[in-house]
Structures are given as C-alpha cells and as structure tokens.
C-alpha cells in the first residue's frame, strides 16, 4: 500500500477511538475500527456476522485474522481516494501486528496511548464497558510490538485531555504527511 499507515493502540478506554477520529478528520485518513466492522456484519446478518455473533455469545474473542477480510473490503471500496489509513485499537499483540503488516501494510507510525489502571477503571465505569483487558494485560501483550517497532512508535500519555494528546500526535503526523515516509521516533 503506497499510503501512510498508522496504528493507534492502547489499553481499554485510553482514547484510541477519539484519537483515531481526530487523525482521520485532520489528515483525511480512512479510519478503520475492526470491531465496528464486525458489528456491521452482525447487524446486517451476513454469514460472517452470524459466525461473529455466535463467537461473541460463547465468550470467544474474534481473531483479527477473521476481521482482516472486512478491512480489505473496506479499503477496496475506497482505494482511489485514500490519503492514509488509521487502524483503531489494533494490533493488540505481536501476532496481530504480523498479520496487519503482511495483509494491510507496514505501519509508518504507531501511536501508543498509555494510561494507568485507575483511569481506565473510571472511564470504563462511565462508559458502561465490561469484560475488557486490564492495563497490565494490555501492556504485557503489546510490549513486543513496542519493542519491535520502537523506531516508529510514539508513546503518549493518554491521561491528558484529548486535545492535548492530539497536539502531541499532530506534531508527528504533520511530519509523516509532509514527508510521506517513515519517521523515526526513538533510538
């Protein structure tokens, strides 16, 4: 894919969706939320949606590998006018990172939103969300991603106000869009 690809990752309620929307809005990138694509399949009662619904009813997580065809379909419907792509909330582990990289493309930037457990607990209770991974579980599963992609990973304090978080992200996004190539964050 010859467009910038951004992954936005973080613990539950860290602001991934908000920041993904802000990136999409400011830079004209296509916002892809794989979970939302699954919800559409379920709501429209497609064959895949019925399978996903059954998986959810039995408490199974839907593997990213099964969501990738939905992402690819979404991209094919927009291929002529894509300025960039922001993937919201994925990958959540290194296996998923490899899947996304091979099927969608190598990321140019990874935005890793960091929050403390008490913040996600407060935000989760306000949002009414249940059954999500803890911050510790998220950190353990994403550490290999942060290590492997350290040069293109921007770690941001997700506890700040959304506009403040986006200011930090925008500095790096501006550079990415301007140069249309991988940017080096650390090391």
Three-state secondary structure string covering 1-48: CCCCEEEEEECCCCCHHHHHHHHHHHHCCEEECHHHHHHHHHHCCCHH
pLDDT per residue as tens, the chain (187 positions)? 688 999 999 988 899 999 999 999 999 999 999 999 999 999 999 999 999 999 999 999 899 999 999 999 988 877 677 889 999 999 999 999 999 999 999 999 999 999 886 554 444 444 444 445 677 888 889 999 999 999 999 999 999 999 999 999 999 999 888 887 545 555 4
The beta strand positions in the chain, using DSSP E, are: 5-10, 30-32, 85-88, 109-114, 153-157
To which residue do tokens 């209770």 refer?
A: 125
| 4 neighbors 82 (Cβ within 8 angstroms) | no
What's the rounded Cα separation, in Å, for the pair 8 and 186?
A: 17
* Superfamily the domain 5-33+83-179 falls into: P-loop containing nucleotide triphosphate hydrolases (3.40.50.300)
* pLDDT for residue 74: 87
Contact 62, 6 (CB under 8 A): no
Q: What is the C-alpha radius of gyration for the chain, rounded to an integer number of angstroms?
A: 16
- The pLDDT assigned to 124 comes to 45
What is residue 126's predicted lDDT score, i.e. its pLDDT?
44
- Contact between 5 and 87 under an 8 Å Cβ cutoff? The reply is yes
Residue 112 C-alpha from the chain's centroid: 9
Alpha-carbon span 9 to 64, nearest angstrom: 14
Give dist(CA 58, CA 98) in Å, integer. Answer: 27
Taking the mean position of all CA atoms in its chain, how far away is CA 166? 15
Give the contacts of 102 (CB within 8 A, at least 6 positions apart).
none
Q: Which pLDDT does position 77 carry in this prediction?
A: 78
Distance CA 90, CA 7 (A): 7
pLDDT recorded at residue 134:
74
């Amino acid at each position: 894919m010859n467009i910038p690809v951004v992954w936005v990752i973080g613990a539950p309620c860290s602001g991934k969706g908000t920041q993904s929307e802000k990136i999409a809005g400011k830079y004209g990138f296509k916002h892809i939320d794989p979970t939302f694509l699954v919800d559409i399949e379920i709501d429209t009662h497609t064959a895949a949606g019925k399978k996903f619904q059954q998986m959810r009813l039995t408490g199974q997580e839907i593997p990213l590998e099964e969501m990738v065809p939905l992402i690819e379909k979404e991209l094919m419907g927009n291929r002529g006018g894509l300025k960039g792509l922001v993937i919201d909330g994925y990958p959540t582990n290194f296996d998923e990172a490899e899947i996304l990289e091979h099927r969608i493309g190598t990321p140019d930037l990874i935005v890793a939103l960091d929050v403390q457990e008490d913040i996600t607990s407060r935000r989760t209770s306000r949002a009414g969300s249940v059954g999500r991974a803890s911050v510790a579980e998220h950190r353990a599963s994403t550490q290999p991603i942060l290590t492997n992609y350290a040069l293109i990973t921007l770690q941001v304090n997700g506890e700040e106000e959304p506009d403040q978080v986006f200011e930090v992200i925008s500095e790096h996004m501006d550079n990415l869009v301007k140069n249309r190539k991988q940017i080096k964050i650390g090391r």
